A and B are shown apart, each in its own frame.
Chain A
């Protein structure tokens, strides 16, 4: 078959990229080879637009065992325990087929974690939808939530935390990011680097079908009006088989049979074989007629590009084939030796004893294109909002409006669809700042949280990038964990657009600065470009997933009030920053100005000292102040508790709205028993931490002197209203 321009374009390759392929091969590729290049060179697999910029992220630290570049990141939590985690996007497939798209997103990220030898112990997700009024939103939301639940519930890994947000920017391109966290013995971690020549290359797991062919290429292009036709490129998930694969792999990993192992994710057999060979500086020869197929008459092209799920590629040590095979037979999974490692440094593909394709590995990996795309800086906006120009609003009305909005209303109708308790180690479920998962059979735990702030990032990518890292860090602090490391999922628009590329590089600058300052390195991640439809790009939406350590387990505080008449303090300074706030958005539909300033020094000091208070068992509950400001934070502490609160009016700021709804950073509301108050105060004073007494807890009402009085029951009702009417 002659490779025409049309075929090249259909494979998502640029003509100059095709010329490059010919140069590397020193001949024209055949269709199979072209397909393989397209799978490896697309944005999703090659990171060609992002690679240059990702280099600047801090990835090292005493706690880091393995940074980016492997299937997932690995950190050390002491006593030979390692935590392996990563977040990944499945945006494009989920928009086309929400249930399967979301389900396979979960399945894929789980494999990334257990392929390294970890037993997955927690799942998280960050999902973004268009406006609730958009005709597609409701069915997309339902499909995605059932898909996430369907996969996680069946495989039996608790889905413990997440965020669901609505914004018209995602009307035509939703975001579905899934994070998996696993636990392994630090001395038993498995990597993808191939070693040794003539070693058996083994295919295990599900059979290969025609699903998902060109999935990664689909995820590397914008949507248009014909996107629905791409349904066949979405993979179909089978959590049952994944459960078997998980158990079989972990069983095989008990001894020393495995040299290297890699899951077949995006670009399936192609990317797994190329990555293993490339990392080991070896070649690989595959006999494709041996690949277990689900459908008849599959061609080498289809086998190499299929993204059928629940499959792994393993390189076994000599003589281990029989014992390994027994394990997979026990679990009723396919186990077939489909090839061997070679010293040719080529990917050699045979079918019926004939060489159908042969490509130098480095042409697919290290020589894949890298682009330094044009980008422009975002000009900081000078827009200021003067409350005096706006219609006056009562505090109570403003609060009710925010708490009953889709973004702030109670989301238990989502989290109740996820099994959060299976494995019996979930100490703190969703609904707090972070979830807490005990390390099985041990007296310690990890805390996990995912966060994003697309509005802030759109307005000012540098500040926005910094802010998410800080918020994520705070969320771990409030549950008493020492934040250790993050994974990031960078969801952006079309990188060929210089504004989008600018948002990308500047968000990374912000993330980098905050991570460096907080010693909070990035150990894994994923970039998702081309989120947009017909040239309309989504807001820049980096999502941060953080992991922290609780060295000695204690009954979790949670963020709901514990007692009547305990004291409430606010750690951190309040300036009353209303630009980009929920208050203006929900009450006035104003989306203007800069996001709040970030002072990393205050961030660090305030957080570390709150952690001291928690360690010394001096507080009853704590909650970080984020979207919505102080009054929303206090309201959230009232839900699920039997208590309300009485708050004082501020002494300095003139506007109550600024004080109660401003979104200044580095702040926490802390509930302290009267008897511990002076001890807590001393620690804060000794460390020069700014704090103020804001009031106390009380029964039945949320109250501000002379300004607001609303019963806690009504507050709860308001917060639960939206979904019931949706």
Chain B
């Protein structure tokens, strides 16, 4: 499977995702933000980081960058798109995903391993997970508090577009298991065609036992299957 990782100035998880993809036998290429053409790809990844410093709204400038027009074109043509952390923020800025990511409810950057539940395990990104499987996965963000309007929220629920929800280790979902104040504890969502996934947690950080655990691996192996 061919993957492309878009590198914006200020991306800082680009190497991490590339290492994870290569480990999973993806044929990966790095694509600089000033490029105007994308290599032929089955998967395009928008990595985590602070694109353009995120001095404006997170992801706002990246959402207007040269390469992003190509990403939007490919997305509309059905290419698989994965946005992690800052990548998720960029996807909401481009409109490829609806809703927005507000500042964490405690107004602080949060980095820790949290639990998330796999809500939909029937997509290209999640078919190797079990339904309601609980993953232990790292988050690292300042703006991960997902918000959207009630109409869109209804659609997310009705069409099974919620990918992951924050929970505790037993799978309970409530306010105390929600690290950043996200609406309905949402940690990741799909677009209506389910070819685009945006998520705040970092699956690329969870592919090696010695560093953390392997809970992120099935996301990549789902894509390969």
Residues of A with Cβ closer than 8 Å to B? 146, 149-150, 153-156, 238-241, 243-244, 330-332, 412, 416-427, 438, 553, 555
Contacts and interface: CB of A to CB of B under 8 A. Distances in A.
A420 B142 CA distance: 14
A412 B110 CA distance: 11
A438 B111 contact: no
B111 A417 contact: yes
B12 interface: yes
Contacts of A412: 112
Identify the 8 closest CB pairs spanning chains A and B, nearest first.
A156-B12, A240-B53, A154-B50, A419-B140, A424-B16, A419-B111, A417-B109, A240-B10
Contacts of B112: 412, 416
A427 B213 CA distance: 11
A146 B55 CA distance: 15
Contact of B53 (A238, A422, A423, A425): A238
Contacts of A425: 211
B160 to A, nearest CB: 30
B12 to A, nearest CB: 2
B126 interface: no
A244 B110 CA distance: 24
Interface of B: 9-10, 12-13, 15-16, 19-20, 32, 34, 48-50, 52-55, 108-112, 138, 140, 142, 202, 204-205, 208-212
Contacts of A553: 210
B104 to A, nearest CB: 10
Contacts of A244: 9-10
B55 A240 contact: yes
Given A416-B112, A419-B109, A438-B211, A239 B9 contact: no
Contacts of B138: 421
A246 to B, nearest CB: 10
A154 B19 contact: no
Nearest to A149: B109
A424 B212 CA distance: 9
B50 A240 contact: yes
A156 B205 CA distance: 13
A421 B49 contact: no
Nearest to A554: B210
A555 B211 CA distance: 8
Given A156-B49, A240-B53, A422 B13 contact: yes
B10 A332 contact: no
Given A239-B53, A419-B140, A553-B210, 7 more contacts: A156-B13, A330-B34, A332-B9, A422-B205, A424-B16, A424-B20, A555-B210
15 contacts: A153-B140, A154-B10, A154-B12, A240-B9, A240-B55, A412-B112, A416-B111, A419-B111, A419-B140, A421-B212, A422-B13, A422-B16, A424-B16, A424-B19, A424-B205
Nearest to B52: A240
Nearest to B112: A416
Nearest to B34: A330
Given A149-B109, A153-B109, A156-B13, A421 B140 contact: yes
B13 to A, nearest CB: 6
Contacts of A155: 12
B9 A331 contact: yes
Nearest to B20: A424
Nearest to A154: B50
Contacts of A156: 12-13, 49-50
Contacts of B13: 156, 422
Nearest to A412: B112
A427 B211 contact: yes
A427 B15 CA distance: 17
Contacts of A241: 53
A422 B109 contact: no
B201 to A, nearest CB: 11
Contacts of B204: 424
